[in-house]
Amino acid sequence: MNTFGRNFRCTTFGESHGLAVGAVVDGCPPNVPLAEADIQPYLDRRRPGKSPLASGRQEADRVEILSGIFEGKTTGAPIALLVRNRDVRSEDYDALRDVFRPGHADYTWQAKYGLRDHRGGGRSSGRETLARVAAGAVAIRCLEPSGITVRGRVVEVHAATDPETMEAEIRAARDAGDSVGGIVEVTASGCPAGLGDPVFGKLDAAIAGAMMGIGAVKGVELGEGFGAARFFGSEMNDPITAEGFSSNHAGGVLGGISTGQDIVVRLAVKPTPSIRKAQRTVDIAGKEREITVEGRHDPCIAPRVVPVAECMLAMVILDAMLEQGKYRGFGAMG
Amino acid sequence: MNTFGRNFRCTTFGESHGLAVGAVVDGCPPNVPLAEADIQPYLDRRRPGKSPLASGRQEADRVEILSGIFEGKTTGAPIALLVRNRDVRSEDYDALRDVFRPGHADYTWQAKYGLRDHRGGGRSSGRETLARVAAGAVAIRCLEPSGITVRGRVVEVHAATDPETMEAEIRAARDAGDSVGGIVEVTASGCPAGLGDPVFGKLDAAIAGAMMGIGAVKGVELGEGFGAARFFGSEMNDPITAEGFSSNHAGGVLGGISTGQDIVVRLAVKPTPSIRKAQRTVDIAGKEREITVEGRHDPCIAPRVVPVAECMLAMVILDAMLEQGKYRGFGAMG
Amino acid sequence: MNTFGRNFRCTTFGESHGLAVGAVVDGCPPNVPLAEADIQPYLDRRRPGKSPLASGRQEADRVEILSGIFEGKTTGAPIALLVRNRDVRSEDYDALRDVFRPGHADYTWQAKYGLRDHRGGGRSSGRETLARVAAGAVAIRCLEPSGITVRGRVVEVHAATDPETMEAEIRAARDAGDSVGGIVEVTASGCPAGLGDPVFGKLDAAIAGAMMGIGAVKGVELGEGFGAARFFGSEMNDPITAEGFSSNHAGGVLGGISTGQDIVVRLAVKPTPSIRKAQRTVDIAGKEREITVEGRHDPCIAPRVVPVAECMLAMVILDAMLEQGKYRGFGAMG
Amino acid sequence: MNTFGRNFRCTTFGESHGLAVGAVVDGCPPNVPLAEADIQPYLDRRRPGKSPLASGRQEADRVEILSGIFEGKTTGAPIALLVRNRDVRSEDYDALRDVFRPGHADYTWQAKYGLRDHRGGGRSSGRETLARVAAGAVAIRCLEPSGITVRGRVVEVHAATDPETMEAEIRAARDAGDSVGGIVEVTASGCPAGLGDPVFGKLDAAIAGAMMGIGAVKGVELGEGFGAARFFGSEMNDPITAEGFSSNHAGGVLGGISTGQDIVVRLAVKPTPSIRKAQRTVDIAGKEREITVEGRHDPCIAPRVVPVAECMLAMVILDAMLEQGKYRGFGAMG
């Protein structure tokens, strides 16, 4: 299932070391001004190779809009977004052809499909998120006239919470041939109350599904999240005043529907599974092997999860607005 | 959206103080032996009024199978499950007609629909989960010949983790006119490897969406979950040996696909929002009010979330098995 | 798949000789005045036993609304509609237990499911359409404030086109222990232009799928339909004037989207397959048998297809209006 | 809605005079040998400019597979198919910018979207079917090991039924600056019994929806189709013998499920709406205009509908096989 969303539908395709990755966005409202320049900055943020701490893969990742735009505006027709792959060093992966990397999808995809494209993780590569980001950038553009913005950041790395210590943790892990996990927080501001569709289309359920579907994410929480388990009801409930809610422990969702406050989501990101440290595994014949994963890998994937989480959240919100008929759009269009 | 699932589809209906609640299960495999007696025990477990600590509502909650069974077996036709409501004291709720209870769906449903059935929460009541449990019991029955079982339990209440202290915490909250949160853990055993459908139909994403869609749940995690943010990659990755994985930090899912190990999920359950303690809120006209929620309410909802979470997990797993063509079923049928 | 529709979703359940048939309507807009009395007349029109020419089954078919209504109005919650079965004479069907009736679903359902409820056709019985009609009556009610009406009629029976000859054809077939086919025309008036969703959600495609899914329907056409194959383009194209289209050869749909003119659909209805005349068939073991189908059957099913086709068309149109955000509804609600 | 199918899902994109048209196929089984050479012949058959009677647009229409293939076989990942547009003479269409062509989607798309890409019909162009054909060719390839084949042909043009007269009719229409309609018949052979999913997922309903969704199609029938309206039941019912059905009036589907016989579908194709003859219409401001449509257009579109109808039918059948778990595939793979 490579399609996400019910009204704003994003279908992604492409493998890490294939010809291209891309997305088709269907259900985009008409009359939205859109050009490659609206999408490219989000791809650039997601791109590896931007800091000495990140993976060294150097790709331009230039997006091309193939359809759905006429005279600078969306028409309601599907928008095909294409990014050709470059700088593909498949030979790096030859050693991994018949071996299952621990912590990766290698073993499970083999179990499911009976065969797999092992080069760079193939379809299960983090590179697939590039297509989500391209589609999400379209959603973010659509949300502009509604005054809705989405912002994410890394709030924790290996228990550290201030930027300097976080960076030190990443550096230490890299130097040890290891990796570390972290926590990402994403906030959507400006959402109207009333988004989400009970009982099985709740906004928080849609967000949880979207976020847990990002590779390396092992947990999702809204508002107080797991902390709520330690609250009294009298602490957790957000009082309502004539000016609105006076706190936001709920994280912007009650009964599965948006309250109009900030929607606050946190994601637990596991350590990058690709590490140079030796690990025990088996090959496709079941024979035990020791593996050290070479190649270019981020020692902490949390920073690169940020734009992906933002884009997924934007798509969920736009989808809900379209579902509820709350999308108003640009200018005169109905 | 009151339908859950893609292949095993459960549609629920009914309000807390209406005539009935129920579910229609569509996509159930044929040839599964099924009777009311297979479903009733799950409803009984979910039922309130079973301990001095729980809500006092006394309902028989007898399920009736209206369709889809012929000579004691499912036929592949939709299975309608009906539970008539009794012991409905709507007058308890008259005072709440025009007031938004903090922490409840009252405010957001009014924002979405412009009107609402205020009696006992109407459609947003926890009573709706009765229908999910009935449908989930069918899924659990279907999973039997595959050797798959699902078991949940409360693992934490207000930071307490041993049963006696948990019970004391609940009692203390009740006596204070307050409520407390907790954590529920659900484990599915016996699942084959290969369940789940990348990129947007991942098993863990489906689980997260299903769990976050249960009322009062504010967080979901698999395996190490948020703890993974504090791990090194060399700690988090589960080594693979000739005998299989030698640990299960992943919680049974890698790359969105089941590994064949136990699937371990934890849910953060917020404190019951209905409390006797006075709270600030507004009425439908925006006028500030003080509210004390009377009526019969559990001071900790976590124990009653357990069977709901089990049933949702069973439905997700059966759905994935049907998607992958991995369901084998009872006896001679294909 | 027992659910129809994307936005206004109707899930039906129940067998001919089971306890009940019914439907759950999900996605109904809130604030629509609705009671049993709005639905019952449609069930009465569909009901057999109303003329000496029709099947003799005498059923009250009283509908009960179990949920989704509060103080006389829809709330946006699912509407469960239940009709208990009565007057069930299952023993009539004992002789058919192991025999496949020609022209019926008996053979194909056995092939698909490996077992079946043979009593009166079980789930494949025409009685299932009762549930569609109940749900469609809700759609018709929803369409009222938009000024959209749907009307059907039998326009041909066994090549006869005037009412008296049509009735004579039916009578003759009945007396011969045989049955005859016919053509039904359904027209929706008052639809706005702009309904339908290219490329794979076209309005005419949705209508065709809905109509062909009615039992006994073997063909569907819009506007000139098969007659268009004998037209010149200069005859077929509807000229557009300042007052609008000056003809309606298209039947109200161009490029898959409504033009604002009447939507005109015709259905080919095959002769009722249940006939008293002897027919050749086989039993479940493959042994050849001669069969004469006793019991109460309409010699021409076209008249009873009329309300079903009206209701399906109403559901398709309401669904499209909700999809396009063109539904305005009753009174002040958004 | 630009996605077709539930299990084998085809999403198309692209406009007549944009950069490219294409499709993303999701849900394709793994382990299917596939290359551009398997798809290209179907595009060549669909291509215009192959006879003196057809539209003169000369395009290579070379398909490129961008993803989903590894070492010559499908992997289960989405298959992106791209055809770059060439030979685009947009200026031909400048005169049509603000005018609605009768019989086209111009008026209705403007009503729906408020703006449109007028160049060559934009997204509503017949060129979009190129993407369906590319995706359908993949489905046809997947069906090979099951022995299922799909074949279509023109069986009638403007009432003529022999090839020579049909060609004469087309030639005469062209010379008169006019166009003519026709009837296409498509037959699928080798389908197993048991395909299709009652009540709302019937095989014939899916076929009808798929076929009516092809531009210019105004009617769809199975087996005897509209002719069945003139049959007695004793003529229409296909007798069943120990060797199987002894006739196929049903056209291969009973009760919405395949019988195992040939599935026979006929489509009514209206005359090409683009004609040189003068027609009355209005412009976007509502002012009356006379229009003569220049450019390259087929005087009869039926021949070019043939490969499109074949491909849609193949997709419906493969989808149903995947739904029922009846797809067996190539070689050792499950």
Q: Which two tokens stand for residue D251?
A: 């056209």
Residue A152 pLDDT grade (very low, low, confident, very high; cuts 50, 70, 90): very high
Cα A3 to Cα A29: distance, rounded to the nearest angstrom: 18
Determine contact: D233 vs chain B, CB below 8 A. Answer: no
pLDDT recorded at residue C52: 54
The amino acid sitting at B124 is S
Mean per-residue pLDDT of chain C: 93
- Taking the CA of residue C167 and the nearest CA in chain A, the distance in Å comes to 48
Say yes or no to pLDDT of C270 above 90.
yes
Say yes or no to pLDDT of C133 above 90.
yes
- Look at residue D254 and give its three-state secondary structure: strand
Minimal-distance CA residue of chain A relative to B253: A108
Q: Are C280 and D240 in contact (CB under 8 A)?
A: yes
Average pLDDT over residues B31-38: 97
Cα B201 to Cα A2: distance, rounded to the nearest angstrom: 7
pLDDT recorded at residue C95: 77
Kindly report the number of other CB atoms within 10 A of residue D232's CB atom. Answer: 20
Residue B119 pLDDT grade (very low, low, confident, very high; cuts 50, 70, 90): confident
Residues 245-304 of B with CB under 8 A from C: none
Q: What does the pLDDT profile of chain D (334 residues) look like in tens digits?
A: 999 999 999 999 999 999 999 999 999 999 999 999 999 999 998 876 555 566 555 557 999 999 999 999 999 999 999 999 986 677 777 777 899 999 999 999 999 999 888 888 889 888 999 999 999 999 999 999 999 999 999 999 999 999 999 999 999 999 999 999 999 999 999 999 999 999 999 999 999 999 999 999 999 999 999 999 999 999 999 999 999 999 999 999 999 999 999 999 999 999 999 999 999 999 999 999 999 988 778 999 999 999 999 999 999 999 999 999 889 888 744 3
Cα B124 to Cα B118: distance, rounded to the nearest angstrom: 9
Average pLDDT over residues C303-322: 97
User: What's the DSSP call for residue C263?
Assistant: E
The verdict on residue B203 lying in a domain is yes
Burial C88-127 (b: 16+ CB within 10 A, else e): beeeebeebeebbbbbbbbbbbbbbbbbbbbbbbbbbbbb
Cα B262 to Cα B255: distance, rounded to the nearest angstrom: 15
Give the angle subtended at the CA of B153 by the CAs of B20 and B26, to the nearest 5°: 40
pLDDT digits (tens, 9 = 90+) for D144-195: 999 999 999 999 999 999 999 999 999 999 999 999 999 999 999 999 999 9
Kindly report the number of other CB atoms within 10 A of residue C246's CB atom. Answer: 11
pLDDT recorded at residue C334: 38
Between chains, do B255 and A104 touch, taking CB under 8 Å as contact?
yes
Whether the complex's predicted ipTM surpasses the cut of 0.90: yes
Average pLDDT over residues A196-202: 96
Cα D10 to Cα D25: distance, rounded to the nearest angstrom: 5
Determine contact: A200 vs chain C, CB below 8 A. Answer: no
Determine contact: D334 vs chain B, CB below 8 A. Answer: yes
Cα B228 to Cα B224: distance, rounded to the nearest angstrom: 5
Mean per-residue pLDDT of chain A: 93
Q: Residue A243: beta bridge partners?
A: none
- Beta strands A279-282 and A263-269 are unpaired
Average pLDDT over residues C130-155: 97
pLDDT recorded at residue A334: 38
Between chains, do A18 and D66 touch, taking CB under 8 Å as contact?
yes
pLDDT recorded at residue D119: 83
Minimal-distance CA residue of chain B relative to D198: B77
Cα C195 to Cα C192: distance, rounded to the nearest angstrom: 7
User: What's the DSSP call for residue D197?
Assistant: B
Taking contacts as CB-CB distances below 8 angstroms, the residues of chain B near C34 are none
| pLDDT > 90 fraction of chain C, expressed in percent and rounded | 82
Determine contact: D111 vs chain A, CB below 8 A. Answer: no
Please report, for residues B178, B180, B279, the alpha-carbon distance to residue B102 in angstroms, rounded to integers and kept in the order given.
13, 15, 7
The verdict on residue A334 lying in a domain is no
Residue A46 pLDDT grade (very low, low, confident, very high; cuts 50, 70, 90): confident
Between chains, do A66 and D24 touch, taking CB under 8 Å as contact?
no
The verdict on residue A328 lying in a domain is no
Question: Helix B36-46 crosses helix B129-143 at what angle (to 10 degrees)?
Answer: 130
Between chains, do B254 and A108 touch, taking CB under 8 Å as contact?
yes
Determine contact: C19 vs chain B, CB below 8 A. Answer: yes
Say yes or no to pLDDT of C50 above 70.
no
Element (H, E) at A240: strand A240-241
Q: Whose CA is closest to B312, among B2, B6, B95, B10?
A: B10
Determine contact: B127 vs chain C, CB below 8 A. Answer: no
In chain C, the number of structural domains is 1
Between chains, do C70 and B117 touch, taking CB under 8 Å as contact?
yes
Element (H, E) at B279: strand B279-282
Looking at residue B102, which CATH number applies to its domain? Answer: 3.60.150.10
pLDDT recorded at residue D54: 60
Instruction: Give the neighbours of chain D: at least 3 Cβ pairs within 8 Å.
Output: A, B, C
Alpha helices per DSSP H over D54-161: 106-113, 129-143
Question: Which of C1, C218, C275 is closest, CB to CB, to D222?
Answer: C218
Q: Are D310 and D150 in contact (CB under 8 A)?
A: yes
Q: pTM (2 decimals)?
A: 0.96
| pLDDT > 90 fraction of chain B, expressed in percent and rounded | 82
Say yes or no to pLDDT of C333 above 50.
no
Between chains, do A230 and B198 touch, taking CB under 8 Å as contact?
no
Question: Which of D106, D213, D234 is closest, CB to CB, to C256?
Answer: D213
Q: Whose CA is closest to D93, among D331, D295, D250?
A: D295
The amino acid sitting at A134 is A
Instruction: Give the neighbours of chain C: at least 3 Cβ pairs within 8 Å.
Output: A, B, D
Say yes or no to pLDDT of B263 above 50.
yes
Q: Which domain holds residue B86?
A: 3-323
- Taking the CA of residue A63 and the nearest CA in chain B, the distance in Å comes to 21
The verdict on residue B328 lying in a domain is no
Residue A59 pLDDT grade (very low, low, confident, very high; cuts 50, 70, 90): low
Select the more confidently predicted residue: B62 or D86.
B62
The verdict on residue A329 lying in a domain is no
Between chains, do A212 and B210 touch, taking CB under 8 Å as contact?
no
Taking contacts as CB-CB distances below 8 angstroms, the residues of chain A near B204 are 212-213
The verdict on residue C333 lying in a domain is no
How far is C-alpha D207 from the chain's CA centre?
A: 11
Average pLDDT over residues B189-206: 97
> Counting Cβ atoms within 10 Å, is residue C146 exposed (0-12), middle (13-18) or buried (19+)?
middle
CA atoms within 13 Å, Cβ hemisphere of A243: 2
pLDDT recorded at residue B333: 43
Question: Which of A77, A198, A325 is closest, CB to CB, to C325?
Answer: A325
pLDDT digits (tens, 9 = 90+) for B175-197: 999 999 999 999 999 999 999 99
Window from A324-333, B21-30, C314-323 with minimum mean pLDDT: A324-333
Question: Helix C36-46 crosses helix C129-143 at what angle (to 10 degrees)?
Answer: 130
Please report, for residues A288, A297, A300, the alpha-carbon distance to residue A275 in angstroms, rounded to integers and kept in the order given.
18, 8, 11
B125 is in an annotated binding site: yes
Taking contacts as CB-CB distances below 8 angstroms, the residues of chain A near C198 are 77
Cα B10 to Cα B27: distance, rounded to the nearest angstrom: 9
- Look at residue C323 and give its three-state secondary structure: helix
User: What's the DSSP call for residue D270?
Assistant: P
- Taking the CA of residue C300 and the nearest CA in chain A, the distance in Å comes to 41
CA atoms within 13 Å, Cβ hemisphere of D318: 32
Determine contact: B325 vs chain D, CB below 8 A. Answer: yes
